[in-house]
Structure 1
Amino acid sequence: MSSKTLDIFLNENIADLKERGLYNEIDPVEGPNGPKITINGKTLINLSSNNYLGLATDERLKQVAKAAIDSHGVGAGAVRTINGTLDLHLKLEEKIAQFKGTQAAISFQSGFNCNMAAISAVMDKNDAILSDALNHASIIDGCRLSKAKIIRFEHSDMNDLRKKAKEAVESGLYKKIMVITDGVFSMDGDIAKLPEIVDIAEEFDLLTYVDDAHGSGVLGKGAGTVKHFGLQDKVDFQMGTLSKAIGVIGGYVAGKQNLIDWLKVRSRPFLFSTAVSPADAAASTKAIEILMESTELNEKLWENGNYLKAGLKELGFNIGNSETPITPCIVGEEKAAQEFSKRLIDAGVYAKSIVFPTVPRGTGRVRNMPSAAHTKEMLDEALAIYEKVGKAMNLI
């Protein structure tokens, strides 16, 4: 018989989340996750996917994934350090390093795994980490796991970062100090002030770590936030994911050869978790090759992003300060944000609500993620639905 204590805990807390409009219902997608998706038999315009370039359903990636299954099987069969490192993994890592402009790269099973692995492999209880207040949950968890002192600085506030870096250095308490930031912040779509961060890091001899999950494939003509600013020689850790613009699954850290050598012997998910499948490794490599050969998909993503953004702004929605195709419609109150999302879905647009704890309380929103695969007709239809629902709820 299951524990009564556990049942009480679960039932009370689930009921509480539902009451406060913070309980998330999961909607299974029937078929591929493309510019349109099918949920409960209904076709919807999809504005909630991280599949920025439409590569998750790209025929070229499907072909190499199928071929990799035929040649290498469906699984790697072991952790990387025993005999789970296939030639396909090495090809992927070589391609990532070329793409990012670094000496080497290491691949992981997910972007979340990267942050858990890399931060704690280098930082420990004798160190400190300066972390942007709006950094992703995986960065926060990676910092906690390291047991380093976490010093939050106000979001993209360079004066606060400089002040806290100076205090940390002058305290003499820490062996190493790292500054860590998202390249693109996934909830608001704003870009980190990397040139200023690097200047401060050089002034105080800080390690630099950029999580570019939402920047790779998007900024720098696809090569990411660090290359967008031309700082690939100045950033110690370039972390990214293969699960968003790349369209597959996995993550990586790119940097100097000695950093990658260290991560291969000290990062725990690399040591204790089976490697990504042959199909995933081959498809990711192909996606990066496509991005290195042509900027066509990247340009289409920006064209669609700018078009949707301009349309929503013209209708009168609060789209915040996004500098990328990520376009929030900030509603405020959590239940209103969930109701807005529900009505959009009923009308034909899948745009999921994002509420606390993913975003601060009182900033509930619907987040739009246009992709290179959307047509102008789809975006026009989405804008018409936004206008209808927004007016019905007195949001515009």
Structure 2
Amino acid sequence: DYLGLTFNDDVVNASISGTRDFGTVVAWCRLVGTVEVFNQVEQEIAELVGTEACSIFASTTLLNHGVIPALMGKDGVLFLEKSAHMTMYEGAKIARDSGSKLCNFNLNDLEQLEDLLIENQHISKKLICVDGVNSMTGDYTDLPRLDKLAKKYNALLYVDDAHGFGVVGEKPDVEYPYGKRGNGIVNYFGLDYENIVYIGCFSKAYGSFGSFICCSHNLRRYLISQATPHDLGGAGPASAMCAV
């Protein structure tokens, strides 16, 4: 609860009003339908982060378990940084069990990563998975160098910034060393989203529940049907989106 919003009166009252307006849970999956407040939050988060679109999941764990296998299919190769969050590793194992290849590299050992990318450059679907802000140490990943490598070898960079979103943001300076607006580590480094998908969550800084992936419109449409939490799981409480 980085910013103390869990007990903020406005946030609490919005959640209570959301429960009265929408009930205790939105039980159907996102593939079937939604309520407008989910779409509103997705639009505002996409604008804040700076991407075309955004897709909300009930939790970061479910997002990583569903999105990583959906991106990899049966014939991709996944490069997972060894100290990345365990939920990414669990998602990677699901992808591996479906036929994709899993490779590990050490934190910020980009020479090792490049060797693996060269070794697997013949595979068309390549995904590099890292924490933005490391969940255990608070260290920032070397995103500018990772972005260059991803572009060089035509890989997609998957940045789980659940522990940075809401605090780490754009244009850091002496007065604001974490940056401004809390719009994530990609903006902190002044990068674009040409080769990056960005993952964040609401439970660390926003005083609410849920997670999201910021991506292109095409990828959002794809995930609605191909990521299992959107296809097989409930959306969760709309009151959490009202709090956001």
Asked if these proteins are the same fold (TM beyond 0.5), I'd say: yes
Q: Which residue of 1 aligns with 2:2?
A: 52
Are the counterparts in 1 of residues 155 and 195 from structure 2 also a CA contact under 8 Å?
Answer: no
SS in 2 for 1:80: coil
Higher helix share: 1
SS in 2 for 1:223: coil
Q: CA deviation at 1:54?
A: 1.0
Q: Which residue of 1 aligns with 2:18?
A: 68
CA distance in 2, matches of 1:216, 1:260: 20
Are the counterparts in 2 of residues 55 and 245 from structure 1 also a CA contact under 8 Å?
Answer: yes
Q: CA deviation at 1:128?
A: 0.6
CA distance in 1, matches of 2:168, 2:27: 35
TM-score (structure 2 length as normaliser)? 0.90
Letter in structure 1 aligned against 2:236: V
SS in 2 for 1:205: coil
CA distance in 2, matches of 1:82, 1:165: 38
Q: CA deviation at 1:243?
A: 1.6
- Match status 1:274 vs 2:223: no
Letter in structure 2 aligned against 1:57: F
CA distance in 2, matches of 1:165, 1:209: 15
CA distance in 2, matches of 1:230, 1:59: 34
SS in 2 for 1:81: coil
Give a deviation string over 1:36-84, Cα, whole Å, max 9, x none: xxxxxxxxxxxxxxx111111111111111111222222113222223x
- Match status 1:159 vs 2:108: no
CA distance in 2, matches of 1:111, 1:149: 23
Aligned partner (choices 82, 85, 110) of residue 32 of structure 2? 82
Structure with higher Rg: it is 1
SS in 2 for 1:248: coil
CA distance in 1, matches of 2:27, 2:127: 35
1:126-275 to 2 correspondence within 5 Å? Answer: 126-147=75-96, 148-169=100-121, 172=122, 174-220=123-169, 221=180, 222-275=182-235
CA distance in 2, matches of 1:145, 1:116: 7
Q: Which residue of 2 aligns with 1:36?
A: none
1:93-108 to 2 correspondence within 5 Å? Answer: 93-108=42-57
Whose relative contact order is higher, 1 or 2, with alpha carbons under 8 Å and at least 6 apart? 2
Are the counterparts in 1 of residues 203 and 209 from structure 2 also a CA contact under 8 Å?
Answer: yes
Q: CA deviation at 1:187?
A: 0.8
- Match status 1:113 vs 2:62: yes
Q: CA deviation at 1:235?
A: 3.9
CA distance in 2, matches of 1:113, 1:235: 23
Q: Which residue of 1 aligns with 2:176?
A: none
CA distance in 1, matches of 2:90, 2:195: 21
Unaligned runs of 5+ in 1: 1-50, 285-396
Are the counterparts in 2 of residues 162 and 200 from structure 1 also a CA contact under 8 Å?
Answer: yes
Give a deviation string over 1:160-189, Cα, whole Å, max 9, x none: 1112211221xx3x2311111000111111
- Match status 1:92 vs 2:41: yes
CA distance in 2, matches of 1:160, 1:218: 31
Are the counterparts in 1 of residues 159 and 199 from structure 2 also a CA contact under 8 Å?
Answer: yes
CA RMSD of aligned residues (A): 1.2
Are the counterparts in 2 of residues 110 and 243 from structure 1 also a CA contact under 8 Å?
Answer: no
Letter in structure 1 aligned against 2:116: K
CA distance in 1, matches of 2:222, 2:73: 15
TM-score (structure 1 length as normaliser)? 0.57
Are the counterparts in 2 of residues 107 and 252 from structure 1 also a CA contact under 8 Å?
Answer: yes
CA distance in 2, matches of 1:215, 1:234: 20
Unaligned runs of 5+ in 2: 170-179
CA distance in 1, matches of 2:241, 2:104: 35
Structure 1 residue ranges (4+ consecutive) displaced by more than 6 angstroms after TM superposition:
none
Are the counterparts in 2 of residues 121 and 267 from structure 1 also a CA contact under 8 Å?
Answer: yes
Letter in structure 2 aligned against 1:158: L
CA distance in 2, matches of 1:131, 1:211: 12
